[in-house]
Amino acid sequence: MTMIFKKLDDGFEIPIIGLGTWLQKNEPECINAVKSALDIGYRHIDTADIYENHGYIAKAIKGFTREKLFITTKLWKDFMDPKQVESQCDKCLMQLNLDYLDLYLIHWPDRTKPMNDIIYQMTKLKERGKVKSIGVSNFTINHLQDILHQGLKIEMNQVEFHPFLNQPELLDFCNRHAIAITAYSPIARGNVFHDPDINSISVKYKRPANQIALRWLLQKDIVAIPKATSKEHLESNFKIFDFQLDPDDMKKIDNIGFTRPKRLINPEFADFEY
């Protein structure tokens, strides 16, 4: 199947479906998942410093044409210091055995830290060729406004986004400011399989619930990084390019987040307004 790409505001392209690797700390499992994903056609691999699997991913992608890959990783909150931005990036590059990152994100916002100075240092990484694009993760509209008011530019905001956490205001804000959105936990950690509305749509299209949820995101022009380890699940998450949801079904899924909202990732240090 032909991969669809989303063009970022800086001109680089990101595959609209990627592989999430959160919690993949088991070496054989992580390596096999990434290799299987690449065999299927995935080219976008998402990781983070805190996931502790950079070395496994490096082994899995070894020998694969670098220019065909899109690798994302993230700056962990313990190193949110402008003076550590470059050294932390260098550490990630060394662990991943890469010369550059396609996308480097601030993993979580922290209003007690000099966020604007940190982002400014990340722009310097772009100038030095260590990073192609930069962005943030788990940022709300208020966090993004703080950045934009300083005249700083980011390309991506990676957030939890799925039928139970539909965030139309955030999506609209990001669209208006040319900030792409990546959805993590896009199938709500399996919760989509138990929702009656999604199941009815699943029957209509003769597609499993995970494909319905991912197609819903794709039609919103949102990048998605579902996590999977088995070849069966990896293949299923990738089979979303050959059908389309009707507008009425898109609205029906939209309404799930309004009638039975559910945020799944909410650590004690998070700074969400709702």
Whole-angstrom distance, CA of residue 169 vs CA of residue 44: 26
Mind listing the pLDDT tens digit for each residue in 28-69?
Answer: 999 999 999 999 999 999 999 999 999 999 999 999 999 999
Max CA separation in the chain (angstroms): 54
The answer as to whether 129 is a domain residue is yes
Mind listing the pLDDT tens digit for each residue in 183-236?
Answer: 999 999 999 999 999 999 999 999 999 999 999 999 999 999 999 999 999 999
> In this predicted structure, what is the pLDDT of residue 25?
80
Are 111 and 75 contacting, i.e. CB atoms less than 8 angstroms apart? no
Q: Provide the CATH number for the domain around residue 108.
A: 3.20.20.100
In which domain, by residue range, is 165 found?
5-190+221-229
Selection from 41, 23, 4 nearest residue 223 by Cα: 4
> In this predicted structure, what is the pLDDT of residue 150?
92
* 1 — pLDDT class (breaks 50, 70, 90): low
Mind listing the pLDDT tens digit for each residue in 135-190?
Answer: 999 999 999 999 999 999 999 999 999 999 999 999 999 999 999 999 999 999 99
The answer as to whether 268 is a domain residue is no
The answer as to whether 149 is a domain residue is yes
- Domain count for the chain: 1
CA angle (47 as vertex; 169, 262 as ends), nearest 5: 35
The answer as to whether 157 is a domain residue is yes
Is 51 noted as a catalytic residue in this protein? yes
Residue 62 gets the label, from left (phi > 0), alpha (psi -120 to 50) or beta, of beta
The answer as to whether 171 is a domain residue is yes
- Of 42, 51, 56, 184, the active-site residue reads 51
Selection from 73, 74, 52, 71 nearest residue 62 by Cα: 71
